[in-house]
Structures are given as C-alpha cells and as structure tokens.
Amino acid sequence: MTGPSILAAEAIQNLRALEDEMEDDSFLKEVEEIYLTDTLKRLTEIHDCLASGDQTTFNRAAHSIKGSSSNLGAIRVIGAAKRLEEKSKESLENLETDITELVGAFAEAKAALKAL
C-alpha cells in the first residue's frame, strides 16, 4: 500500500529525479536503506530515553525522525514524530500511545518503501 496517506508521491518523485542519468532506482534505494537503518536507531533511542528519563535526547531523536521522514514523504511518521517532539519538550510522561503510533506509522512506511 503506497497511498498518499503513507508516502507523499512528490517526495519519491523528487528523489527519483535526483538520479540523473541512472536508469534504475539505486539512489532511491540507498536513501531508503539509510532512512530505515537510522530510524530504527532513533526508535531505540526513544525507548531508551523514555526509560531513563533523558528528555533532551528523546526530543532530538523525535526531531531527527521527523526530518528524515520528510525527505521520503512518510506522512504519518512525520505527524507522529512531530507530536512526540512537541510533547517531549514538556514531559516524557504519558507518551506510550504516541510512541506506539510512531512505531506503527514507521512499519507502514517501511512496507510502502519496500514495495516501490
């Protein structure tokens, strides 16, 4: 499922346009792999920071996920990460539901990216 609610087609088209004369999606696939690997690390950071109470690193990880997701047009991930970033500025309390939403949105984006 690669509908507009998961990935923004324009973002994918922009990445494909950067491939110049390449006739395959190697650049897009490279960006995708970097995104997936980095986002998994940031999600681990979010879980670790929630447990340890490290608000600054939690906020930074959410911000990083939001930014990298923008590059690939992962719409739901962007929204969930933005909410976590904003909420974590105040407190790390009661964020479990938002984290679950982020993880689910990332899983959908990952599946949509792999289907390209």
- State the angle between helix axes of 96-114 and 75-88 in degrees (0 to 180), rounded to the nearest 10: 160
State residue 4's pLDDT score: 47
Q: Do the domain assignments include residue 4?
A: no
Domain span holding position 62: 9-17+24-114
The CATH number of whichever domain residue 61 belongs to comes to 1.20.120.160
For the chain, the domain total comes to: 1
Q: Do the domain assignments include residue 3?
A: no
State residue 20's pLDDT score: 65
pTM for this one? 0.89
What is the CA angle 34-40-41, rounded to 5? 90
Q: Do the domain assignments include residue 38?
A: yes
Q: Do the domain assignments include residue 2?
A: no
Per-residue pLDDT of the chain (116 residues; tens, 9 = 90+): 344 478 998 988 888 887 765 667 788 889 999 999 999 999 999 999 999 999 999 999 999 999 999 999 999 999 999 999 999 999 999 999 999 999 999 999 999 999 98
User: DSSP readout, 17-47?
Assistant: HTTTT-SSSHHHHHHHHHHHHHHHHHHHHHH
